Structure 1
Amino acid sequence: MQNYLEDRLQITDLMTAWIHRDLGQWDQLLNVAHPDGTIEITWFKGLFSDFVKGSQRMGTSDFRTKHLIGNPVVTFNGDRAIVETNAVIIGENQKLDLGCAVHNRFYDMVEKRDGKWKIFKRQTIYDMGTFTFPQGPVDVDRDAVASYPREYAPLAYMLEKSGFPLQGKFATRGDALEQKMRADAATWLAQ
């Protein structure tokens, strides 16, 4: 049986490197994915390099985020691994005086190329979310909030109001999209 201790450490560092996004360290963030790496999250689907450019634009907007990252659970097959990592996305739009906290799981397919583990594909499963009110309660458009899946409705609402529209529907805890994501990743891992 292969000892994956060093690989687990590299992958843990890879997952916690998401701090570079929160700090606006774009070159370091770009380094967490392979050049052909992709990402699918609420407001972006596409190449990771384009996501970094979009994140730069978001970084200059009224919408700010911080990600609290947990320890990853890793399933290996040679130089490939599936990584599931608990996270909390904390967002705030100071102009709206509104915030959110959304619990999610990053679901990554990572590959070791030239001795380095990097993200090949990042997706997210949303578990639950809530609004926060930094300066006290403010009104939200309840009908607009209700148009999104409950698990990520606060984040979706804030993204839309901040000029970052959703890019489709996303997996939520236990739904068919999560099941398909897991099945597709298992097929990829077995190859």
Structure 2
Amino acid sequence: MRLMSGTDSELTKVLSLLTHERQARDRGWWSVLARYYTPEATIQTSWFDGTAADYIEVSKRVFEQTPSNHRLGLPVIDINGIRAIAEMPMTIEMRGTFRGVETDLTAHLRMLHRAEREGDAWRLDATVAIFDHDTMTPVNPAATVPFTPEDLQGRRPSYRMLSLWMTERGYTVPNDRYGIDRPADLTALYNDAYTWAGLPQPH
């Protein structure tokens, strides 16, 4: 973690923002979750791309259908005055029924956050998921997850299982999300984020 300006207490505040935001999402504390975003905040995940307000509304339905847990890694936080960039490693865990078989889905990714300080409070202004890889396994080792190679044709390797899982539940998962299989897109994404924050380019 680093500061271009400010104090270590600002790093702690941003870290608290990141962890409390995911806690509220996983617990279904929707009114609390809304406090962690600016009015103009946007979010892009595999299945959603839009405003934070709309994300909360759609997340209520996803939460009822397939609860998930977000396991967080230690973030990298860079602060410049009232703006910050935070990269948070994350593992999403879902357990549910896939074509009649109880199944665990695990997706490995990182979230790239833009945060802004208003007074003493930090809030998220933009969040983008960057996908690494994912797996789908039966809860019962003796069972078999019922999918075929054709199910994965045309799906991105960085989030193909998650894409299949959400599509089966009626959600549209576009093929243009950020993932490690498209490094040029990631370079542009990071350059834009660090420019927004007035920070040196990360490479």
TM-score in terms of structure 2 length: 0.87
| 1:144 CA drift (Å) | 2.3
| 1:86 CA drift (Å) | 0.4
State whether residues 93 and 162 of structure 1, in contact with CA within 8 Å, keep that contact through their aligned partners in structure 2.
no
**Within the alignment, does 1:161 sit opposite 2:164 as a pair?**
no
Unaligned runs of at least 5 residues, structure 1: none
Which residue in 2 is equivalent to 1:35? 39
Equivalents in 1 of 2:87, 2:7: separation in Å?
16
2:103 to 84, 95, 98: 98
- Identical positions, percent: 24
Which residue in 1 is equivalent to 2:190? 182
Letter in 2 for 1:14: L
Which residue in 1 is equivalent to 2:8? 5
Tell me how large the CA RMSD over aligned residues is.
1.7
Equivalents in 2 of 1:20, 1:146: separation in Å?
35
Which residue in 2 is equivalent to 1:20? 24
State whether residues 75 and 83 of structure 1, in contact with CA within 8 Å, keep that contact through their aligned partners in structure 2.
yes
Equivalents in 2 of 1:142, 1:168: separation in Å?
18
Secondary structure, aligned partner of 1:119: strand
Bigger radius of gyration, 1 or 2? Answer: 2
Which consecutive aligned stretches of 4+ in structure 1 deviate over 4 angstroms post-superposition?
none
Letter in 1 for 2:7: Y
Equivalents in 1 of 2:175, 2:43: separation in Å?
13
TM-score in terms of structure 1 length: 0.92
**Residue deviations 1:61-117, cap 9 Å, x none?**
2x2211101121011111101100000011222354222111100000111012211
| 1:183 CA drift (Å) | 1.3
Secondary structure, aligned partner of 1:183: helix
Equivalents in 2 of 1:81, 1:51: separation in Å?
22
Q: 1:168 to 1:114 in 2, by over 3 A?
A: farther
